[in-house]
Structure 1
Amino acid sequence: MTVDTASNSGTDVPTEPVNVGSETELNELVDDSGVVLADFYADWCGPCQMLAPIVDNLAAETDAVVAKIDVDANQQLAKAYGVRGVPTLVLFADGQQVEEIVGVQAEEQLRELIQNYTEE
């Protein structure tokens, strides 16, 4: 399987969100990537649907790996991260959780947050 990567970054960052189905998968993604934005969502959630195109843009246009976690299919994983409402975005940098945002946020605000951790 080939991974479509951002051509302008020179790194192996997927340009589309990666669906994560277990805590092991998320841990491996976080361990193997510099910055990961994990989107805990539910298909039935209106705000999650509003956030989806923003998350897609962030995957395509930033140096963060974007992970999508369906809370209905991955209840244990959501519980492990203390997700009480959706959408919840968890940002990881250098293997550590550094931010948690609940609810829909503006794309510019999320982009700035990611840039705080991807630019050195």
Structure 2
Amino acid sequence: MKIFTFLLSCFASVVLADDFKLINGREYKDATVTRVEPDGIVLRTNAGIAKVYFVELPKEYQERFKYNPAAAAASSAQQAVNQATTAVAGRGQPSEVISHGEQVDINQHLALGNVTILEFYADWCGPCRLLTPSLEQMASSDPQIALRKIDIVRWGTPVAQQFNVNSVPLVNIYNRAGSLVGTVRGADFDSVKRYVAQAKTGG
């Protein structure tokens, strides 16, 4: 019975693996769908994890995963609300998403005179969901800190290539003069706090 169950599990895994070809011609070979969201699907491949939006997929995939444009729009609107600044009693610096995959000039978004935290994240990234609330709380409660966020969307987007991002979350901390003080990889909030303290004193 155990052997049968094992074989059945293996068979199920093989069935779930599939090739996905986007409208622009890009392909994800032997990809497994790990999660279906209102606006897209999260795929796991040998190269890592990536989110593919339904608007990038042919109609057959949209129908297969029950794509609903209205639900996707509502989900995107809710995400925008969740990412908006929630300053405490007007004390904190606003947080701002400055890129959704496109290249960006970070120098145009540094809060000179204050400490800037730059977070690279993705909606499908579990560790990002653990770290982001702590960063937002830090920025909203401290008027000397500004949080800037870059959504890489998926691996290989222009902004991910621009900053050579190969893992998320990734956090850069800049001092009041706009100089990079340190980089933290992973959901290591304690290291972020140490670099922020260093940045406040000049880095």
TM-score in same-fold range (> 0.5): yes
User: Which structure would you say has the larger RCO, counting Cα contacts within 8 Å and 6 or more residues apart?
Assistant: 1
Shift of 1:33: 4.9
Q: Which runs of 5+ in 1 are unaligned?
A: 8-12
Shift of 1:31: 6.5
CA 1:91/1:46 → structure 2, altered by over 3 Å: closer, same or farther?
A: same
Answer with 81-90 or 27-36: which moved more: 27-36
**What SS class does the counterpart of residue 109 from structure 2 fall into?**
helix
Amino acid at match of 2:166: R
Please name the residue that 2:181 is paired with. Answer: 98
**What SS class does the counterpart of residue 98 from structure 1 fall into?**
strand
Please name the residue that 2:167 is paired with. Answer: 85
Counterpart Cα distance in 2 of 1:103 and 1:110 = 10
Counterpart Cα distance in 1 of 2:109 and 2:158 = 17
Please name the residue that 2:98 is paired with. Answer: 20
**TM-score, normalized by length of structure 2?**
0.47
**TM-score, normalized by length of structure 1?**
0.75
Q: Which runs of 5+ in 2 are unaligned?
A: 1-86
**What SS class does the counterpart of residue 23 from structure 1 fall into?**
coil
Aligned residue-pair number: 109
Q: Which has the higher strand share?
A: 2
Render the CA deviation track for 1:83-102: whole Å, top value 9, x for unaligned: 11000001122222221111
Shift of 1:44: 0.3
User: Cα RMSD between the aligned structures?
Assistant: 2.5
Please name the residue that 2:152 is paired with. Answer: 71
Query: Who wins on radius of gyration, i.e. which is larger?
Result: 2
Identify the match of residue 34 of structure 1 among 114, 125, 139: 114
